Amino acid sequence: MDDIWSDIEEQMKEKGIKFSKGVIQDAQFITADPGKTNSGMNDRGRGQPTTRNEDGTWATKGEKSFFGYKKHVTVDKDNGIIRRVAITTASTADCNIDLTKPDEIVYRDKGYYGTKPKAIGNATMDKALRGKPLTVRQKLRNKRIARKRCPGERQFAVMDRVMNGGHTRLTELHRVFVQQVMCCITFNLMQIKRILQNQT
C-alpha cells in the first residue's frame, strides 16, 4: 500500500500538482456489524470464519452509539488531495492520532482540543469547559478555523456516497485498512482528474 501511495504522489508531482503547507485533519466512523456474541469465535480461533467482528469496538458521539472503526485523514487545504490516512478502532479518540508533519499548519475541530500536534502551526478549535465558557475572541477564532476546515468534509462525503466507504463488512482491522486506503486512493485519482481538467 505504501508503494502504491508513493507512486501516485510521484505522478502528481510530475503533473505539476502543488501542495500547500496547510492541512485539515479529521476523522469519521466506519460502521460495521458486530455480529453474534455466541458465534463460537473463541473455539474457532482468530482469523477463522465467524459472524463475530474481531476488531471493531463501540464508541459514542453525542447520543448516538457506533460500532466498527474510524478513518483518520489529513487533506491538503488548497487542492483537496488526501495526504495521509490511518485506520483505528472506533473507540480510539481523535486526539490520539496525529498525522501532521513539523513544517505544516493543521486545522482541526474541537475533538483535538488539548493535544499539541507535530505541526508547527496549530489551528485547533477551542472547546468550552465546565465553568469556563468561550470568550468572544475564541468564538471568532473558531469561526475562522471552521471556514478553513470546510473543504475537508467533501472527501468523506464522496467516499461515503460514491464508494460506500462509510460501512464495512470486514471484521479485521488490517483488512479494513486496505479497503479504506483504496477508497482514499480512488478519491485522489478522481480529484487529480478534476484538478487537471480545471487547469486546461
pLDDT digits (tens, 9 = 90+) for 187-199: 999 999 999 998 8
> 82 is written with which cell numbers?
488526501
Q: Mean per-residue pLDDT for 166-175?
A: 94
Position 53 scores a pLDDT of 87
Res 48 pLDDT > 90: no
Average pLDDT over residues 7-31: 93
Alpha helices for the chain (secondary structure H): 2-14, 41-44, 136-149, 154-161, 173-199
* Higher per-residue confidence, 62 vs 174: 174
* Residue 44 CA: distances (Å) to CA of 38, 40, 41, 171: 12, 6, 5, 15
pLDDT in tens, 22-36: 999 999 999 999 987
Secondary-structure breakdown of the chain: helix, strand, coil percentages, each rounded to the nearest 5: 40, 25, 40
Q: What confidence score (pLDDT) does residue 33 get?
A: 93
Tell me the average pLDDT across 117-129: 96
* Contact yes or no for 66/59 (Cβ under 8 A): yes
Better-predicted residue by pLDDT, 51 or 32: 32
**Other Cβ atoms closer than 10 A to 21:** 15
Residue 45 has pLDDT above 70, yes or no: no
By the 8 A CB rule, do 87 and 159 touch? no
**Cell matching residue 67:** 460500532
Q: What is this structure's pTM?
A: 0.89
Contact between residue 183 and residue 159 where contact means Cβ atoms under 8 Å apart: yes
Q: Give me the percent of the chain exceeding a pLDDT of 90.
A: 80
Q: How many residues are there in the chain?
A: 200
* CA dihedral sign, ordered 161, 163, 169, 171: negative
Kindly state the average pLDDT of the residues 164-176. 94
DSSP designation for 6: H
What is the rounded distance in angstroms from the CA atom of residue 37 to the CA atom of residue 31?
A: 17
> Domain boundaries in the chain?
2-199
For all residues of the chain together, what is the average pLDDT? 91
